[in-house]
Amino acid sequence: MDFSQRLCTGLISFLKMGVNLYIKRDDLTGISQFGGNKIRKLEFLLAKAIKDGCDTVFTYGATQSNHAMQTATACRKLGLNPVLYLVSIVEPDENDLKANLLLDHILDAEIVIEPLNGDDEATADKRAFEKSLEHAKRLERQGHKCCMIPVGGANGAGSAGFIGGFAEMLCQMEEINVSPDYIFHASGSGGTLAGLVAGKKIVDSNARIMGIGVSEKDNTYLNKIVALANSAIEYIGSNETVTTEDFYYDSNYYAPGYEMPSEGGTKAIKELATSEGIFVDPVYSGKGFAGMLDYIRSGKVPQGSNVLFWHTGGNTALFAEKEIIGGIYKK
Ligand SMILES: Cc1ncc(COP(=O)(O)O)c(C=O)c1O
């Protein structure tokens, strides 16, 4: 697949903070106006779905999932049926649908909402997945062929999209004679981080890739993303391998929680919008950007460094429920 329309993914230099700062505009990558980092994954994931003869694609996430919305968009473009199992971490108002959930409805995706019902998110995710397997079995009995794309598109095929993304970014940087020292981005499922680290390994770059976490993770997380990176490497047929040593992940910037606005994130959204006219969002890219600003301003990133912020999109969240956007519009 090629969904890229990457004419707008240029690198932008801005804000003088003693480092040279660039943005990789994956927020502008995609089929619709509402792109983001899932598009690179979907190029590989849906190519595989079509190759496997599927006509129906299941995926998962929160009710305001960017991944689910982008999957539905890409499915529509390719004539596939999207089925979304969405956990309502923030309860949607059926009579006043917002942001991604509204777009999912406009796209006429089949939507099944799984309430938390007092459980944690992981338990509700598991419940949704089990129900979706039953659903897929029913559809297959009617002659459909289904494929299941995991939360965040996080498998080897999906992360392979970011191996290409890393190489694309290096070529763009080379064109302006810049070698990136640090690459920051917001990390959720870890699929983007895994793909970027795999890409760095394959092309042998010195850039330090910094994943800024947006949700709580248990201590199995790092091993999972190492495995994810290795399966992406295998997917593209390379013999390289990565280990935990190749990863850098910081979970100090997501509090108070996933889909809950942070003070740093809110400030970062305002700062980038008012200085450059570029938007980041309260759930992902705003927290990633806030983490990066803290690294620069606290001196953890040395002055004079070439720093790249990988903008992963998510801006529809600026139109989401109040619980998600918080007090962003207040003076
Ligand atoms: C806007 C945005 N940024 C970052 C991420 C994190 O990407 P990943 O799940 O690959 O870690 C997501 C995932 O949903 C996202 O929607």
Tens of pLDDT along 32-83?
999 899 999 999 999 999 999 999 999 999 999 999 999 999 999 999 999 9
Annotated catalytic residue within 4, 65, 132, 205: 65
Q: Do 148 and 136 lie in a common domain?
A: yes
User: How would residue 2 be classed by pLDDT, with cut points 50, 70 and 90?
Assistant: low
Structure tokens that stand for 27 in this block: 């927020």
| Domain co-membership, 149 together with 213 | no
Domain of residue 125, residue span: 39-153
Mean pLDDT of 192-200: 98
CA angle 276, 279, 285 (to 5 degrees): 120
Q: Is 1 a domain residue?
A: no
Residue 108 lies inside a defined structural domain of this protein: yes
Q: Is residue 331 part of a domain?
A: no
> Based on the domain organization, do 169 and 310 belong to the same domain?
yes
Among 133, 153, 173, which residue terminates a domain?
153
Contact 208, 246 (CB under 8 A): no
CA pair distance 308, 56, nearest whole angstrom: 37
- State whether residue 205 is helix, strand or coil: coil
Cα–Cα distances in angstroms (integers) from residue 99 to residues 4, 69, 266, 280, in the given order: 22, 10, 18, 15
Q: Do 136 and 174 have their domain in common?
A: no
Question: What mean pLDDT, rounded, does the chain reach?
Answer: 93
> Is 237 among the domain residues?
yes
| One domain, residues 194 and 263 | yes
Neighbours of 100 (CB within 10 A): 27
Phi, psi of 314 (to 5 degrees): 95, 5
Residue 272 covered by a domain: yes
Q: In what order do the strands lie in the sheet with 182-187?
A: 20-25, 306-311, 182-187, 208-213, 249-250
Has 65 been annotated as catalytic?
yes
pLDDT above 70 (res 13): no
**CA dist., res. 313 & res. 186, Å (int):** 10
- For ligand 1, atom 16, the nearest C-alpha belongs to 66
Same domain, 184 and 297: yes
Flag whether 330 is in a domain. Answer: no
Task: Give pTM, 2 decimals.
Answer: 0.95
Q: Which residues contact 283 (CB under 8 A, 6 or more apart)?
A: 64, 214, 258, 259, 314, 317, 320, 324
Phi, psi of 190 (to 5 degrees): 95, 0
Pocket residue to mutate for ligand 1, from 45, 279, 312, most atoms within 8 A of Cβ: 312
Considering only CA atoms, which residue is closest to atom 12 of ligand 1? 188
pLDDT at 5 over 90: no
Q: Is residue 245 part of a domain?
A: yes
User: pLDDT tens-digit profile of 276-292?
Assistant: 889 999 999 999 999 99
Residues 133 and 87 in one domain: yes
Q: Are residues 184 and 143 in the same domain?
A: no
CATH classification of the domain holding 236:
3.40.50.1100
Give the separation between CA 314 and CA 27, rounded to whole angstroms: 7
Counted domains in the chain: 2
Percent of the chain with pLDDT over 90: 85
The reported pLDDT for the residue numbered 29 is 87
64 in Cβ contact with 324 (< 8 Å): yes
Residue with tokens 């970011």, as numbered in its chain: 162
User: Best substitution site from 29, 38, 253, 285 to test ligand 1's pocket, by max atoms within 8 Å of Cβ?
Assistant: 38
* Domain finish residue from 96, 126, 153: 153
CA–CA distance, 97 with 43 (Å, rounded to integer) = 28
The answer to whether residues 193 and 47 belong to one domain is no
Q: Domain end: 89, 124, 153, which one?
A: 153
pLDDT at 11 over 60: no
Residue 148 contacts residue 132 (beta carbons within 8 Å):
yes
pLDDT at 125: 95
What residues does 306 pair with on adjacent strands? 20
Atom of ligand 1 nearest to the CA of 189: 9
* In a shared domain, residues 165 and 54: no
Query: In sequence order, what are the residues at sequence separation of 6 or more whose Cβ sits closer than 8 angstroms to the Cβ of residue 288?
Result: 184, 185, 186, 187, 212, 214, 253, 280, 309, 312
8 Å CB contact between 192 and 224: no
How far, in Å, from the CA of 228 to the mean position of ligand 1?
Answer: 15
Q: Which residue has the tokens 């419940």?
A: 127
Q: Are 190 and 311 part of one and the same domain?
A: yes
Same domain, 121 and 188: no
Of 171, 211, 218, 215, nearest in space to 195 by CA? 211
Residue 321 falls within a domain, yes or no? yes
